[in-house]
Structures are given as C-alpha cells and as structure tokens.
C-alpha cells in the first residue's frame, strides 16, 4: 500500500501540473480539496480521467468523486479495491 500511495502522489502531481511539489510534500491524510492542496472541480475531473487511464476504474458520477478524493490515503484504498489494471 505504501508503494501505491507514493506512486499515486507522483501521478497526482503529474496529472494536475503541481509543478513545485514533490511526493514528500503531500500528506496522504490531508484533504485534497478545500484546505489541503486546494484543488478545484476541474482537478477532480482530471483525477477521474487519471484513475481510468492508470487503473482502469470508470467513475460515471462526478459526485462520487468527492468521497473518493477525500485524501490520498482514501483514494489509494479505493483504487486497491477496484483496480482492473
């Protein structure tokens, strides 16, 4: 799981153009939206595309994204359970 979390952080940084960040800078339990990394609605959609591209998970309902993207840790957990790639 640690490896998945680290890889996920790298993929988030790449997908969202978080140019000045390194995986070490992201706290896996901090909220991604709102306070934490301050991501917005377009970032959420981009993460949905990233999950399909890298892990074969198709999310039809953007509202579900809110729960899954609570933090990197929550995201990793969801991916581990649902990945098809």
Partner 1 sequence: MIKHQVYISPNEVKVDGKALAHNEKGSALLTELYRNNIGDYPKFFKMDTLSKLGFIASELLLNIEGNRSFEPREDRAVILFNRNASLQADTHYQSTIQDPEHFFPSPAAFVYTLPNIVTGEIAIRNKYFGETSFIVIDDYDEQIIMKNLDIAFQDPVTTSIIGGWVDCSDEEHFEARIFLMEK
Partner 2 sequence: MTNPILITGCGVVSAIGNNKAETLDALLNNRSGVGPLVHLKTEHKEFPVGEVKMSDDEMRKRLNISDNNITTRTALMGMIALDEALKEAKITPEMIPNIGFISGTTVGGMDMSEQYYLDYVNNENHKEYIAVHDCGSCSEMTAEHFGKFAFITTLSTACSSAANAIILGANMIRCGEADIVVVGGSECITKFHLNGFNSLMILDTQWCRPFDATRAGLNLGEGAAYLVLETEESAKRRGVKAQAILSGYGNACDAFHQTASSPDGEGAFRAMKEALELADIQPDKIDYINAHGTGTPNNDASESTAVKRLFGENVPPMSSTKQFTGHTTSASGSIEAVFCILALQNGFVPVNLNWSQPMEDGIVPVHQSVKKELKHVLCNAFGFGGNDSSLLISKPEL
Q: How many CB atoms lie within 10 A of CB 29?
A: 11
Does 35 contact partner 1 by CB under 8 A?
Answer: no
Cα radius of gyration rounded to whole Å, the chain:
12
Least separation in angstroms between CB 13 and partner 1: 10
Q: How far is CA 25 from CA 10, 35, 70, in A?
A: 11, 15, 17
- Using CB under 8 A as the binding rule, whether residue 43 contacts partner 1 is answered as yes
Least distance CB 27 / partner 2 (angstroms)? 26
- 24 makes contact, choosing from partner 2, partner 1, none, with CB < 5 to 8 Å by partner type, with none
32 and 39 Cβ atoms separated by less than 8 Å:
yes
CA distance 21 to 52: 23
Residue 16 binds partner 1 (CB under 8 A): yes
Point out which span in 3-11, 16-24, 63-71, 76-84 binds partner 1 (CB under 8 A): 16-24
Q: Which residue's CB is nearer to partner 2, number 25 or number 40?
A: 40
């Amino acid at each position: 799981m640690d490896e998945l979390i680290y890889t996920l952080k790298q993929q988030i940084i790449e997908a969202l153009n978080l140019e000045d960040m390194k995986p070490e800078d992201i706290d896996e339990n901090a909220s991604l939206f709102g306070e934490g990394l301050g991501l917005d609605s377009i970032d959420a959609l981009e993460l949905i595309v990233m999950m399909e591209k890298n892990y074969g998970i198709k999310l039809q309902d953007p509202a579900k994204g809110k729960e899954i993207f609570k933090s990197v840790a929550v995201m990793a957990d969801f991916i581990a359970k649902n990945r098809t790639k």
